[in-house]
Structure 1
């Protein structure tokens, strides 16, 4: 017959197992983020042209300009301790507080509406920046951007470059891409300033997965972009629209290009 000490140790072991089982199943206030979709702003997304322009002649383009996203655990899905521990060491995923994605006090519907509004504002700024650089009258040239269901402002730079490439290219009859798959991220305002966005390390993974060899990154986020940079992906820092175009033209001509 087991001794009292043996029975006590066995009971403690059972309690620890039970506690671990409960902890492993209890939902945690965290969200898992990972590389999301990318979309070529020069092409189609879900069977629809991303950039539609009227009122000005368009040019045939080659290569791709891919905007990038990150995907988060849907708000209705709960993260357990076991799931979080499995994701934590994975360089292709990030475990972050749920409030970083779904702020407290705001419903999922509110967050989605805010993301959609930010995307619309980003598209308007991208159009304004592109037409301003090309000295085109926004009352004559109409631009429609069809990516409203991808929320947030981080595609602004790639929208702007896509509009410019379709209308003017590099200004000398060539493509901004040089025939490459170029990806990137960054907000933009009407004056052409490029802003930081967050999640860059995961976006570089999405870009490389979908064939990109060049990634345009806001200068302030170069450090984050260098973390686990995919092999074969060149990081080019940008502060402004003019700087991004100059870097792409330099890359295409074989001139020196800054890197992160």
Structure 2
């Protein structure tokens, strides 16, 4: 013999009340998730950018032009400055964009302030980047001429790198100037015919400083044929985390250190490594 029962009206009412309470409690969470999904975030998305051979030409003109001295280096290789490409300051970046970029090795999510210090719109950013490039070029020329014990009164150096801005090409501008003016000191070039890429700021005394986006820059360098990558010593760990196969990291702390490393590369001698 079986018996059946129905819920007491009071118990059923309590269950309905609990369900309504849970629904009301969940609603703000759902709304927060929707807002987070579609709200703009203070980030920029970046990817490997273009490379530029500072020993070559840009828009039909030499990237580095020297007046007042005869060029000595005859380099058959390439010294490649590398860049990253980032979304503009006004670009809207949302949570789905960030999530997709996290799962790609050729993309990076960076705080917008780290990419565009000082804030502002694209026009403001372009102005600052242009000013940083001019300052970087001046320091690169000064460092290179000091390295060679040459006077800026006698030698005029003009640098052209198109729309590429910022200070991170400083080291390679300085190396390119040394290569143009002196080469390896024996009629050859600094690279020994190899493709060497890299990045780093430089001050007037030849000290190399850190830059942003190094892992993406190593990808751009390997993509365009580089087998060696010069970078600031302090950024070895950052660059090693996602290093492309076939690219060797060469840490340097100064212009002299970079020149010593290039000598090791072209002569199969001692080359520093991360």
The answer to whether the superposition gives a TM-score over 0.5 is yes
Q: CA deviation at 1:37?
A: 1.1
Count of aligned residue pairs for this structure pair = 258
**3-state SS of 2:183 partner:** coil
Hey, what's the Cα distance between the residues in 1 that align with 2:80 and 2:121? 30
CA contact (8 A) 1:102 1:108 kept: no
Deviations 1:56-85 (A, max 9, x none): 112432110001111111223211222211
Q: CA deviation at 1:12?
A: 11
Hey, what's the Cα distance between the residues in 2 that align with 1:173 and 1:93? 41
1:52 matched to 2:65: yes
2:189 paired residue among 162, 175, 188: 175
1:110 paired residue among 124, 131, 143: 124
Deviations 1:34-61 (A, max 9, x none): 1111100000223332111111112432
Trace 1:221-260 onto structure 2 (pairs within 5 A): 221-260=235-274
Deviating more after overlay: 9-18 vs 206-215 = 9-18
Hey, what's the Cα distance between the residues in 2 that align with 1:174 and 1:114? 37
In structure 1, the gaps of 5 or more residues are none
Deviations 1:193-225 (A, max 9, x none): 111112211111111111111100111111111
Q: CA deviation at 1:20?
A: 5.8
2:218 paired residue among 204, 215, 221: 204
1:82 matched to 2:96: yes
Hey, what's the Cα distance between the residues in 2 that align with 1:106 and 1:203? 25
Structure with larger Rg: 2
CA contact (8 A) 1:28 1:79 kept: yes
2:209 paired residue among 186, 195, 204: 195
Aligned to 2:50: 37
RMSD, aligned α-carbons:
2.6
CA contact (8 A) 1:120 1:148 kept: no
Hey, what's the Cα distance between the residues in 2 that align with 1:171 and 1:197? 30
Q: CA deviation at 1:130?
A: 1.2
Hey, what's the Cα distance between the residues in 1 that align with 2:117 and 2:54? 30
Aligned to 1:218: 232
Aligned to 1:151: 165
Hey, what's the Cα distance between the residues in 1 that align with 2:106 and 2:172? 23
CA contact (8 A) 1:54 1:141 kept: yes
Q: CA deviation at 1:115?
A: 1.4
Aligned to 1:125: 139
